[in-house]
Structures are given as structure tokens and as C-alpha cells.
């Protein structure tokens, strides 16, 4: 677009614009008014150009700024940051193309260039699909006429810490607030970020529950049972409002406990436990105890039960290990009995 003075009338301005993009037909508007008003009119035409032009299947790059603004509002901060990071690989391959020109071959070239990182590739394909679906919902393009094929990937089962290891970790955490956070993740199944952003007004003390509504995945609210050990720590210091777990150095919610966990695990003489492994442990032991997958799904706040089903595999794996250990103990006992019997004869 361009704006310039009218040759014959100093009170008029010429605005050139391309409703269908640079390769389309040029339109010319004569505007009567001040330069500032003419520039305002040009900006309005630009917005109209983005809207109408996008409906003629624009390159994805043109839509990205608007989509990023939408993500800031409608997606979790961590998801937004991860999407921005993934653009490093998505944009060079798909950014210059309109959706109509994205073919299976384009996806195959992307996969080949990306290398042997199947989990990352599949995540980036999901991000791109989310962007395209958003464009379709907003009338910017037609859907892809095919389903993008993902790279074969078998997600490894999370390594679940034994309850004794978790208790050893808890014994090494001396700060009461950090200890309460850790208990919440292990006995309540909360994620670190949503735990750090619990507010006092979200706790129902009489009901023994916490309403998780801040920094939750996909902004989805859920109820978490307050663990007794966490309530014993937090009850005496409860406040009417504000964040519960405030870092005294920053006066903001804690951003990480990785250093704390690393030191506590080292002192306890156990393998490294991350905050998210505590959530995995909560889900696994709840499933083994209750035997109800729907209950675990509700406790974790999963939208899709297929996400929760991974804990069925972990429970079966734990059962297999327990049976194997039991069998080995029986074999060892039998061997000792045989030796004793041989010695007696």
C-alpha cells in the first residue's frame, strides 16, 4: 500500500492498495481530508486487506501475528512459549505457503529436514494443525484435504519413583512452603506451575479441597483434594487472599524447584526426581489403589481418557516387576531349601 498527495488538489490524497495481494488487481482511492486522516484510512484498508485477503488463502506467515495474539489469550503461557520456539522449524517450511499448497510431499520434506526427532516432529505437526484449524474456523482458508501422517513413535513409560524414595525426598526439604508444594504434587497430582499459582481464596478449608484455576493446562478448572500433610503446614499460616507459595526474594510465585530437588535427592542418596514425576507417581498409585481409570482422569484433569491410559501400562509394568521379583524370591528360597536338604543327607 502507498499514500501520496493528489497532483491537483492539496486537500486530497491517493491511496493505492491490493485487495487480492500484490499479484492481484490494484485499486486506487482518492481521499479527501488531512494527511493524518488519510493515514488512518490507509490503516483501515490494511486491516480490511488482511481480512479479505486472508480469505483468498494467504501464506501462513501473514496470519501468524494474529494467531500469536490469539494464543496469548486462549492458551497457557507455557504452550504459547513452546509454540513460538517450534516456529523455528515450522515457519521455514510452511510459512511462505498458503494452506492450499501444503501437500503430503511438503510434510515429508519437513520430516526429512527435521531429522530423527520423532516426538518433536509430531508435536510440531500438531501445532501446525492447530493453526490451520484456527484459520478454517475464522474463514481464512479451506481445511487440508488429507490427514497429515505422523512419524512412528513409541512414547517411553515414565519412570515412577517408589513411595520410599519420595518420602526420603520429603525428609530433605526443610522449607515448609516448598515441602507443602511437594506434598501437593505427590498426594494431589498437581502440576508444578498450577501448584505455584494457587491462591488462598482458592482453598475451601471446610471441604478440604482446592479449586485449580490458575495456570492450568488449557485453562481448565478442576478440584483437587487437599492432602492432610499439606493442610497441617498451610492451615496455621492461612491468609484471606493472595498467592500461597510466594518466593520471598521476588515476592512472586516460585518459578522452579529443580535446584531444590536436585540437592534433596543427592542428600537422600536416591535417583533424581523431578516435580512432574511426582504427578506420575500420584496417578500410578491412585490407579493401583482404586482400579478406576475414570477416577484418575478426573483427578488429573485430563480431557481425553486416552492420555490417562498410559498409567494402565505403568501399573501393568509394576505388576510384572512385582511378579518377577516374587518369583525370584521363591526360586532363591527353594534353592536354599535344596541346599540345606542336600547338606543334611
The question of whether 215 is a catalytic residue gets the answer yes
CA distance 158 to 40: 56
Residue 302 a catalytic site member: yes
Helices (DSSP H) in 138-249: which residue ranges? 163-171, 176-187, 192-196, 228-234
Determine which one of 5, 267, 276, 331 is catalytic. Answer: 276
Q: Is 74 noted as a catalytic residue in this protein? A: no
**39, 40, 229, 339 from 36: Cα distances, Å:** 5, 6, 65, 101
The CA distances from residue 283 to 5, 26, 226, 298, 300, in Å, are 69, 61, 15, 11, 7
> Which residue among the candidates 49, 215, 217, 222 is catalytic per the annotation?
215
Per annotation, catalytic residue among 49, 111, 191, 280: 191
* Active-site hit among 222, 279, 280, 285: 279
Give the closest residue to 90 by CA, choosing from 78, 102, 100.
102
Rounded distance between C-alpha atoms, residue 345 and residue 343, angstroms: 6
311 part of the active site: yes
Of the candidates 6, 12, 114, 302, the residue annotated as catalytic is 302
Distance, in Å, from the CA atom of 47 to the CA atom of 34, rounded to the nearest integer, reads 20
Residue 272 falls in the annotated catalytic set: no
User: Which residues 6+ apart lie within 8 Å of 174 measured at CB?
Assistant: none
Q: Is residue 162 annotated as part of the catalytic site, yes or no?
A: no
- What gap in Å lies between CA 75 and CA 254, rounded to an integer? 21
Give the residue numbers annotated as catalytic, written as ranges: 191, 215, 276, 279, 302, 311
Amino acid at each position: 500500500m502507498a499514500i501520496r498527495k493528489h497532483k491537483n488538489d492539496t486537500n486530497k490524497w491517493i491511496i493505492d492498495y491490493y485487495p487480492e495481494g500484490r499479484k492481484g488487481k490494484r485499486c486506487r482511492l482518492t481521499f479527501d481530508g488531512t494527511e493524518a486522516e488519510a493515514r488512518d484510512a490507509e490503516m483501515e484498508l490494511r486491516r480490511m486487506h488482511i481480512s479479505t485477503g486472508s480469505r483468498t488463502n494467504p501464506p501462513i506467515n501473514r496470519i501468524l501475528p494474529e494467531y500469536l495474539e490469539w494464543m496469548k489469550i486462549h492458551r497457557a503461557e507455557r504452550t504459547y512459549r513452546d509454540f513460538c520456539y517450534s516456529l523455528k522449524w515450522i515457519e521455514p517450511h510452511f510459512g511462505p505457503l498458503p494452506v492450499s499448497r501444503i501437500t503430503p510431499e511438503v510434510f515429508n520434506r519437513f520430516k526429512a529436514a527435521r531429522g530423527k526427532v520423532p516426538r518433536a516432529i509430531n508435536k510440531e505437526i500438531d501445532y501446525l494443525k492447530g493453526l490451520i484449524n484456527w484459520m478454517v474456523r475464522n474463514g481464512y482458508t479451506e481445511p487440508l484435504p488429507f490427514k497429515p501422517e505422523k512419524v512412528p513413535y513409541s512414547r517411553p513409560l515414565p519412570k515412577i519413583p517408589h513411595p520410599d524414595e519420595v518420602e526420603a525426598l520429603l525428609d530433605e526439604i526443610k522449607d515448609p512452603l516448598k515441602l507443602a508444594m511437594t506434598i501437593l504434587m505427590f498426594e494431589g497430582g498437581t502440576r508444578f506451575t498450577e501448584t505455584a499459582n494457587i491462591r488462598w481464596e482458592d482453598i475451601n478449608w471446610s471441604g478440604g479441597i482446592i479449586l485449580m484455576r490458575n495456570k492450568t493446562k488449557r485453562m481448565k478448572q478442576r478440584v483437587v483434594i487437599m492432602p492432610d500433610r499439606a493442610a497441617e503446614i498451610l492451615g496455621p499460616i492461612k491468609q484471606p487472599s493472595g498467592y500461597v507459595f510466594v518466593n520471598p526474594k521476588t515476592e512472586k510465585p516460585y518459578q522452579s524447584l529443580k535446584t531444590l530437588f536436585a540437592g534433596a535427592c543427592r542428600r537422600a542418596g536416591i535417583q533424581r526426581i523431578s516435580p512432574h514425576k511426582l504427578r506420575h507417581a500420584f496417578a500410578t498409585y491412585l490407579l493401583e489403589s482404586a482400579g478406576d481409570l475414570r477416577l484418575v482422569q478426573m483427578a488429573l484433569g485430563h480431557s481425553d481418557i486416552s492420555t490417562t491410559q498410559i498409567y494402565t501400562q505403568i501399573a501393568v509394568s509394576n505388576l510384572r516387576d512385582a511378579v518377577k521379583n516374587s518369583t525370584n524370591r521363591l526360586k532363591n528360597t527353594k534353592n536354599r531349601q535344596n541346599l540345606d536338604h542336600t547338606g543334611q543327607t
